Structure 1
Amino acid sequence: MAETLQILQKYWKHNSFREPQEAIIQSVLEGNDTFALLPTGGGKSVCYQIPGMLFNGITIVISPLIALMKDQVESLQRKDIKAIALLGGISIDETSDLLDNCQFGNYKFLYLSPERLQQDWIVERLKQLPINLIAIDEAHCVSQWGHDFRPAYLNIKNLKEHFPKIPFLAVTGSATENVQKDIETQLGLQNPKLFKKSFNRENLSYHILKTEDKLTKIQQILKKNQQSSIVYVRNRRACIETSNQLKALGFQSTYYHGGLSFKEKEANRLLWMENKAQVIVATNAFGMGIDKPDVKTVIHTQIPENLENYYQEVGRAGRNGEKAFGILITDKTELNLSKKLFIENLISKDFLKDIYKKLNNYFQIAYGDGFNESFTFNLNDFCNSYHFPTLKTFNALQFLDRQGILTLSNESSEKVKVQFIIPSKEVIRYISLHQNDEEIITSILRTYSGIFESEIGINPILIAKKAKTTEENVLRVLENLEKVNAISLQLINNDSFITFNEVREDELTINRISKYLENRNKVKLEQFHKMIEFVDDEKTCKNILLLDYFGEKNIESCGKCSTCLAKEKANPKTTAEQILSFLKNKPSNSKELAEELNIGKEELIFALQLLLDKNVINCNEKQQYFIV
């Protein structure tokens, strides 16, 4: 395995593998079908990227997440590794050109969505490629019992017929025992080597805190643990409000949600990544690809829909192996509200049909049209136009995305309108002086022929694909052109990007996928009830509850979660010992003791009185307790 370690060191700058990466890579190199269940932070992508580097030919990576594909392709390209992605919104001719590049251009990785496998001509083109490995990321999406089922994943099994000697590597970060078995069956894995890392995070403790004053509790937590933190909130408005409230309390805070522009997201993310902001307040749009080792605390102010999402989000804390905390702050009102909102936002067939029809009308797509057409999309504007509830609408769009009807990118994009206001010969002169921008500018000119005559809406994502660069670079070039008065430029922020994968057929489309809707609602309800049980159970160790959900049995109580600590604190002697241990460092008043030790008022008074009666402690003129 010396060669694999050399590649890891050269391209990924790590000196050793995480357990069990090396064994997974070896299994793949031996040609075995392999199933890797690596909880969040386990380094799943390396398990197929390193074999892909060692094999001759090209590795196919099937992923449902556009943002993740873009992120991984750009990361590989920065390492001078040739990688490409078949994203939505490009023509058949352009797709064919990209596949030609894969066939003749010595590419190492081709990323594509499972929906692409529904197109026979693409499968035929894949059969012509020198494929050495097929990696299935987010493999739990193949199971109807998983939390993120996508019917298009069921097509992956067909690749076994075309590539019977090519190893399959299925990777996922969360799957119950039933889902694991279903993944093996649905993907057609043959005698797979299973590698399963325990979901147990020994350095991470889980806490459920019940209080109506969430802000004060967050303040206490961030004051006590002053390292990097994430606070997850319910929606975008709460995101901004909570961040501003924390700033007013003296914390360095920023925020992140799906409605921010790319620039705003990057700027805020970097503030937090570089520890210029202690805390980032975010919706669940934040997290993909985030690997910050020194996160001390992840706080939830809302109840996640399922334990898979909760585990993944909390798991962003403590990746450096040091003590870390996952804290969910709630109360009876919040619990009832979460249950109510969850039920209200389950999608019915009629609602889904209405959304689909109105979405096509919104983009003026005629019946029988729309295939492969792409649009920038503002969710709030759409909902306001048709008086739809925002969250329920978003859930419906996500369902349509998972069924492959459309592709919804939750990354914000810029709606860009451009007109060149200088003659074409001046554009040529500009390119000669700015050769690094040539590919982007020529891609714009080739794609939009009337751009000298009138203002034209352009697609920066499409231009980035054609120029083999990033959307950020496209926008940078446009802004530079505007500064020298070469173009007129309008940027209008949109919070999503939609590509239609099928022609519009209204009832026919919805009737075909409605069979999955009933099952989806049933699974979501079961998973949500498990999440509520996890929050409500005040007798069982939180770590035991979580691990039991993922199929790990015979686990001892962790001794450090909110349930375990509550049992300890129920003993006045234990509370007294905590107080004495703290007072060894400095005298403190009752308020300081309550905050630092997280002890209830009655419990604290009882223990203090016990220690005073025994003359173990005394109280000074500042009302501070000290050891006698």
Structure 2
Amino acid sequence: MQEALSILQKYWKHDSFRTPQAEIIASVLSGCDTFALMPTGGGKSICFQIPAMMRNGICLVISPLIALMKDQTANLQKIGIKAIALTGGISTDEISDLLDNCLYGNYKFLYLSPERLQADWIMDRIKNLPINLIAIDEAHCVSQWGHDFRPAYLKIASLKTHFPKIPFLALTATATERVKEDVIIQLGLENPAIFKKSFARENLAYMVFNVEDKLYRLEQILKKNPQPSIIYVRNRKACLDTASQLEALGIKATFYHGGLHSREKEKNMRLWMDEDVQAIVATNAFGMGIDKANVKTVVHIQLPENLENYYQEAGRGGRNGEKAFAVLLNSPSDVQYSENQILNNLPDKKFLNEMYVKLCNFFQIAYGEGIDEQFSFNINQFCVQYGFPILKTFNGLQFLDRQGIITLSQEFSEKVTVQFIIESKEVIRYTSLNPQDEEIILAMLRTYPGIYEVVTPINISLIAKKSGSKENQVAAVLQKLQERQIIEYHAKSNDSTITFNEVREDDRTINRVSKYLENQNNLKKAQLEAVLDYVTNDKSCKSRQLLSYFGEKDSQNCGICSFCIKQDKTPSPLSSIAEKILGLLQTSPMSSREIQMYSKFPDDAIIFALKQLLETNKIELLPNNKYTLK
């Protein structure tokens, strides 16, 4: 393993491997199929990157996460390792060129999504590559019992036929015992070596607090712990609102969600990474590939959909080994709200069929057509036009995406159209007088030869690349040309893009995947029940509850979670808390926050006592959410 250690030190600047990285690498190098279950932050990518570097040929990495593929290829290229990712938006000709580069260009890593393997011509090209290792990231997606099942992953097993002597390495951060066994079967792993690192995080204190005023508690947490923090919310509006509220309270904050333009994502991310702001308020679009070691607190102010996602998101705290906090704030209405939001917005077969037909009609796709067509898409506009509920529609679109029927890009996009409205000789005259704009204009004319005759959609990123400019420089030139009435220029914002991966077949398309829909809906219901149990169970250690969910049944109390801390304290008798509340309310009506501030009792004890006093008719709740004596 000396060579492996030398590569680690040379390229990644680490002195030693973490447990069980060295053991996994040794297993792969011996030619064994290997299954590795390693929690978030455990260093899964090293486990395939190091052995791939030690062998001739190229490592095929299959991942469903475009952002993570881009991040990993960029990081490899920065340290001088040649890597390619076949992400969305790449033409067939470009893919063909990239695969040629893999064959002749001494590349070490080829990243692609499982959906790419469904194209026979891509599979044929891959068969001819000198593959030295096949790594399957997010391997739980292979199992229909996994929390993010994608049927396209089932195609991976066919690679065994073409590469019988090449080891498979399946990697995941979240898998129950049932999912692990299913992954091994579905991938066709032969007598795999199994490595399972404990999910226990000894430095991470899992806290569940029952509170009525979440913003007040969040302010307390962030002011007590002024180090970098992540606050997870469920939607984009909550992102903006919470970040604004924190700023108003004097806590520097920014936000991150899938609807931001890539430039704004990068800017907000950089503010947080450089610690110009303390907190980043984010949806679950944030986190993949993010490696910031000194995150002190991760706070969920809304209940997560499942414990798999919660564990991954919470696990972004304390990666430097110092004590950190994973806090979940729960209010009395959260359980009912989550049940309504999640269960009532699960699309059934009838809804999915109707939505798919309307989606095809929306883009005027005829029956039997539409394959490989791409469109800009605004989900709000679509839902308004057909009277569909937005969240249910989004869940339906996500399901179709995971089945490979469509590809839904949730990254913000701008549809830019341009047409030159003056004669070509006048354009040449303009470029001679404005040589600083010449490269950008020539790049547009060469790339889009019909740009004089018709309104033409253009790709600003491509023009920037071809002209050796930055995207903001291209946008500035377009703006200037419009102001001088040289071009007609329009930029329209869209939530996302949709690519149709199959021809339109209406009922036949949906019937083929409906069995997976029923399984997924049942799984989501079971996962929500597990979340609610975690939140409401105050009879055992929070860390043990999570470990038990992931199959670790013999763990010990962690000693630092909200349950364990409570056991170390002698609880105040309910009668003394009630007496204190009644005494305070004799002066004036008060909110639960004010009662907690003056009484100094824990929030959950205050809430319990208030419920008891309400039930015994000793106090009442006023319309302004203040309590008063009855």
For normalisation by structure 1, the TM-score amounts to 0.86
SS of the equivalent of 2:538 reads coil
Which digits, 9 at most, give the CA deviation of each residue in 1:122-160, with x for residues without a partner? 222111111111111110000111101111111111110
Hey, what does 2:377 align to over in structure 1? 377
Hey, what does 1:190 align to over in structure 2? 190
User: In the alignment, is the contact (CA less than 8 A) between 1:89 and 1:373 conserved in 2?
Assistant: no
Q: How far does residue 287 in structure 1 lie from its aligned partner after superposition?
A: 1.2
Hey, what does 2:285 align to over in structure 1? 285
User: In the alignment, is the contact (CA less than 8 A) between 1:142 and 1:151 conserved in 2?
Assistant: yes
Q: How far does residue 545 in structure 1 lie from its aligned partner after superposition?
A: 0.6
SS of the equivalent of 1:540 reads coil
Which digits, 9 at most, give the CA deviation of each residue in 1:519-556, with x for residues without a partner? 11111111111111111101011111100011112111
**Match for residue 475 of structure 2 among 476, 479, 483:** 479
User: In the alignment, is the contact (CA less than 8 A) between 1:66 and 1:409 conserved in 2?
Assistant: no
Change (3 A) 1:189 1:77: same
Hey, what does 1:16 align to over in structure 2? 16
User: In the alignment, is the contact (CA less than 8 A) between 2:24 and 2:36 conserved in 1?
Assistant: yes
AA partner of residue 55 (structure 1): R
Question: What is the 5 A alignment of 1:418-497?
Answer: 418-419=418-419, 442=443, 447-460=447-460, 475-479=471-475, 481-482=477-478, 485=481, 489-497=489-497
Hey, what does 1:253 align to over in structure 2? 253
Change (3 A) 1:538 1:596: closer
Change (3 A) 1:91 1:228: closer
Hey, what does 1:309 align to over in structure 2? 309
Hey, what does 1:33 align to over in structure 2? 33
Which digits, 9 at most, give the CA deviation of each residue in 1:3-29, with x for residues without a partner? 323333333333333222222222222
Change (3 A) 1:83 1:375: farther
User: In the alignment, is the contact (CA less than 8 A) between 1:414 and 1:460 conserved in 2?
Assistant: no
Q: Does 2:175 match 1:175?
A: yes
Question: What is the 5 A alignment of 1:47-58?
Answer: 47-58=47-58
AA partner of residue 218 (structure 2): I
SS of the equivalent of 1:418 reads strand
**What is the rounded CA distance, in whole Å, between the counterparts of 1:84 and 1:429 in structure 2?**
39
Percent of residue pairs bearing the same amino acid type:
59
**What is the rounded CA distance, in whole Å, between the counterparts of 1:431 and 1:11 in structure 2?**
45
Hey, what does 1:584 align to over in structure 2? none
User: In the alignment, is the contact (CA less than 8 A) between 1:460 and 1:474 conserved in 2?
Assistant: no
Change (3 A) 1:272 1:522: same
User: In the alignment, is the contact (CA less than 8 A) between 2:8 and 2:15 conserved in 1?
Assistant: yes
Q: How far does residue 374 in structure 1 lie from its aligned partner after superposition?
A: 1.8
Q: How far does residue 209 in structure 1 lie from its aligned partner after superposition?
A: 0.7
Compare 10-19 and 302-311 and name the one that shifted more. 10-19
Hey, what does 2:549 align to over in structure 1? 549
Hey, what does 2:88 align to over in structure 1? 88
Change (3 A) 1:602 1:70: closer
Question: What is the 5 A alignment of 1:272-351?
Answer: 272-351=272-351
Query: What RMSD, in angstroms, separates the aligned Cα atoms of the two structures?
Result: 3.0
Structure 2 unaligned regions, length at least 5? 574-594, 610-630
Hey, what does 2:244 align to over in structure 1? 244
Change (3 A) 1:520 1:592: closer
AA partner of residue 161 (structure 2): E
Change (3 A) 1:243 1:416: same
User: In the alignment, is the contact (CA less than 8 A) between 2:596 and 2:603 conserved in 1?
Assistant: no
Q: Does 2:44 match 1:44?
A: yes
Change (3 A) 1:295 1:425: same
**What is the rounded CA distance, in whole Å, between the counterparts of 1:247 and 1:4 in structure 2?**
47
Change (3 A) 1:360 1:523: same
Q: How far does residue 462 in structure 1 lie from its aligned partner after superposition?
A: 7.0
Change (3 A) 1:178 1:130: same
SS of the equivalent of 1:411 reads coil
Change (3 A) 1:82 1:311: same
User: In the alignment, is the contact (CA less than 8 A) between 2:302 and 2:328 conserved in 1?
Assistant: yes
Change (3 A) 1:568 1:114: same
Question: What is the 5 A alignment of 1:117-196?
Answer: 117-196=117-196
Which digits, 9 at most, give the CA deviation of each residue in 1:20-69, with x for residues without a partner? 22222222222221111111111212221222222211111111122222
Q: How far does residue 505 in structure 1 lie from its aligned partner after superposition?
A: 1.2
**What is the rounded CA distance, in whole Å, between the counterparts of 1:189 and 1:468 in structure 2?**
48
Q: How far does residue 114 in structure 1 lie from its aligned partner after superposition?
A: 1.1
**What is the rounded CA distance, in whole Å, between the counterparts of 1:463 and 1:170 in structure 2?**
39
Change (3 A) 1:90 1:275: closer
Q: How far does residue 477 in structure 1 lie from its aligned partner after superposition?
A: 4.8
Q: How far does residue 591 in structure 1 lie from its aligned partner after superposition?
A: 7.4
Hey, what does 2:589 align to over in structure 1? none
Structure 1 unaligned regions, length at least 5? 574-589, 605-628
